[in-house]
Chains A and B, each alone.
Chain A
Amino acid sequence: KAGVTQTPRYLIKTRGQQVTLSCSPISGHRSVSWYQQTPGQGLQFLFEYFSETQRNKGNFPGRFSGRQFSNSRSEMNVSTLELGDSALYLCASSLGQGGSLHFGNGTRLTVT
């Protein structure tokens, strides 16, 4: 069974631009969560989608948004990028609420 796939692996953007990250969950998994990982703040929850609906949201500004498609694939968008948005963005999928999280290898975003 293929794992969680995130694209692209690396991304370099300029302040003020926007970016879209993509995540394909494990086949059969209907829940997709997004996390931001930085050396200073560690792993922080962004949001979770289940059956195309956002079920939970972390404490991030509205510049961070996401969506989930009918095939469970998910995208995350960050608008008006700031230098502090430089991080590893991780996607995790699970069967449903409370299930074990399976992480992808992340997208490394660098904002210059």
Chain B
Amino acid sequence: QQQVKQSPQSLIVQKGGISIINCAYENTAFDYFPWYQQFPGKGPALLIAIRPDVSEKKEGRFTISFNKSAKQFSLHIMDSQPGDSATYFCAASMNNNDMRFGAGTRLTVKP
């Protein structure tokens, strides 16, 4: 059962541009929303995470925007770089480790 829907499936952005990935969830009991970055041959690495009492969180070039009423959250990558080319996963959990992942977005940043 897919509880977290992620879009787009793939994204191509020019260097310096803004990459935006969106996710929607169904279960209102979710209270932890992380984003993971995965490079080929590697496991997912935590990028940034947010809890529903905050509408936005920024860490460097990465920002999560969270809309609790719409049950949506998104990742914005500012000044995208070729090194950001990877697969990004959103996820949600209910304060445990049964993390529900989105299907992933393959980001390509063209130089």
Contacts and interface: CB of A to CB of B under 8 A. Distances in A.
A103 B97 contact: no
- Binding site of A, secondary structure by majority: helix, strand, loop or mixed? strand
A92 B42 contact: no
Interface stretch (B17-25, B60-68, B69-77, B98-106): B98-106
Interface of B: 32, 34, 36, 41-46, 49, 89, 91, 93, 95-104
A55 interface: yes
Given A42-B101, A56-B96, A56-B98, A98 B32 contact: yes
B43 A94 contact: no
Nearest to B46: A100
Contact of B99 (A4, A101, A102): A101
Contact of A58 (B43, B46, B49, B98): B98
Interface of A: 4, 31, 33, 35, 42-45, 48, 55-56, 58, 90, 92, 94, 97-106
A98 B96 contact: yes
Given A43-B99, A97-B97, A105-B42, 16 more contacts: A31-B97, A33-B98, A42-B104, A43-B44, A45-B98, A55-B96, A56-B96, A92-B97, A94-B97, A98-B96, A98-B97, A99-B97, A101-B34, A101-B46, A103-B44, A105-B43
Contacts, number: 62
Contacts of A99: 97
